[in-house]
Amino acid sequence: MKKIKIATAQFENSSGDKNYNLSIIRELSAKAAAAGADVIAFHECSITGYTFARHLSKPALFDLAEYIPDGPGIRQLISIAREFNIVILAGLFEKEEDKVFKAYVCVDKNGLIAKYRKIHPFINPHITPGDKYVVFDLYGWKCGILICYDNNIIENVRATTLLGAEIIFMPHVTMCTPSSRPGAGFVDPLLWANRENDPTSLRIEFNGLKGREWLMKWLPARAYDNAIYAVFSNPIGMDDDQLKNGCSMIIDPYGDVIAECTHLGNDIAIAVITDDKLERAGGHRYKSARKPELYKDIIGQPNISRQHVVWLEGKK
C-alpha cells in the first residue's frame, strides 16, 4: 500500500511581513517534521499576507512580489525545507516581466518542485490570471494545486483530476465574509481578541454558516465526486481587517474529514494518506462511467449570463 503523511496548517499571518510569516512557517514545519510528516501545506499568500493587497497599487504589488525561484522568500522557504527535511507548500505574489500573479509553490530540500498560478484571482485588479493546470510527482503520488476560488469552479477540480491528480492541495483565504448566500457575513474581531475569556461565542461564529458549515456544503463534494484527497489550508485570526476561522483540514476520497485543525490559534493537523481509497471510492466509478461524447461540446461553450438564457428561451 502506498502511503504519505501530510500536514495542513493554519496561522495568523502578518500583512506584508515576509520574515515574520516565514518564521511561523518554520515553526510549524518543524512541528510537522517532528511528528513524522513528509509534507506540510500552508494557506494562500501565507508568505506575504493576502487581504491587505486589495489596497495596493500596481507598483506596490510588484514590489511585494518575487521572482520564482530566485526570490528571497522562496530561497528561505527552501532553506526551511532543507533544515527539517520536509516538503513545504506555501503561497505568495509572483512577478514576471511586468506582470504579477498569485502563486503557490512546492519546495523541498533541493529546490522548487512545482509552481501554480491562480486561475481566478480577484483580490486586486493588477493580478494576471494563470492559464494552466499543474500536476507533479511527490513521493510517488500525483499532486495538483488549485487556489481558493479555483476550487469553486468544479471544472477546475475535475480537469486537475483527469490530468492524474490523486491529491489536490487547496490553499485558501476564505469564510467569514459577506455574500449573497444566507447566513454569510463578517465575524466581529472583538471575539478574536476575547477568545481566551470567551471561546464559545467565537466558535459559534467560526463553525456556523459564516464559516465551517458553509465549507461543508461543498468542499467534501470536490473530494467525493473526484475520488481525490483534498488538502485544505486556511488562515486563522486577523488577516488585515478581516477575521478568518482556520479549520484547515484533510478530506479523503469518501468525502470524510480525516484531520482538522481545531485550536483557536496557530495549529497543524496530520493525516496518513493511503492509496486504497482512490479506487474504492464512488468517485472513481463515476469518472470511469463518464460519457464525454455527450457533453464535451456543452462544457466547452463560452459562458453566458442567466439573462441571456432567459432571452434565448423566450425566442423558442
Q: What are the cell numbers at 3?
A: 502511503
Q: How far apart are the first and last CA of the chain?
A: 56
CATH of residue 235: 3.60.110.10
Q: How far is CA 85 from CA 10, 34, 259, in A?
A: 20, 10, 22
Give the 3-state secondary structure percentages of the chain, helix then strand then coil, rounded to 5: 35, 25, 40
Cis peptide before 69 (omega within 30 of 0): yes
String of b and e for 100-138 (b: at least 16 CB within 10 Å)? bbbbbbbbbeeeebbbbbbbbbebbebbbebeebbbbeb
Residues paired with residue 5 on neighbouring β-strands, in sequence order: 272
Q: Where are the alpha helices (DSSP H) in the chain?
A: 18-34, 58-64, 72-84, 154-162, 189-193, 199-207, 212-226, 276-280, 282-288, 292-299, 306-314
Instruction: Classify the C-alpha dihedral 46-253-219-101 as positive or negative.
Output: positive
Q: Nine-digit cell at 163?
A: 490530468
Condensed to tens digits (0 to 9), the pLDDT of residues 214-265 reads 999 999 999 999 999 999 999 999 999 999 999 999 999 999 999 999 999 9
Please give the pLDDT value at position 315: 41
Summarize pLDDT for 82-102 with one digit per residue, the tens.
999 999 999 999 999 999 999
Q: pLDDT-based confidence at 305, cuts 50/70/90?
A: low
E strand or H helix at 94? strand 87-96
Q: What is the pLDDT of residue 308?
A: 42
User: Is this model's pTM higher than 0.85 or not?
Assistant: yes
Give the tens place of pLDDT for each residue, 111-140: 999 999 999 999 999 999 999 999 999 999
How many structural domains are present in the chain? 1
CA–CA dist 227, 232 (Å, integer):
15
Residue 130, C-beta contacts closer than 8 angstroms, at least 6 positions apart: 101, 102, 116, 117, 118, 119
Q: What is the dihedral of CA 298, 303, 307, 309, to 10 degrees?
A: -10
pLDDT value at position 310?
39
Closest by Cα among 148, 151, 46 to 107:
46
Full domain range(s) for residue 243: 3-314
Average pLDDT, the chain: 95
pLDDT band (50, 70, 90) for residue 303: confident
pLDDT in tens, 133-187: 999 999 999 999 999 999 999 999 999 999 999 999 999 999 999 999 999 999 9
**pLDDT in the model for residue 311:** 34
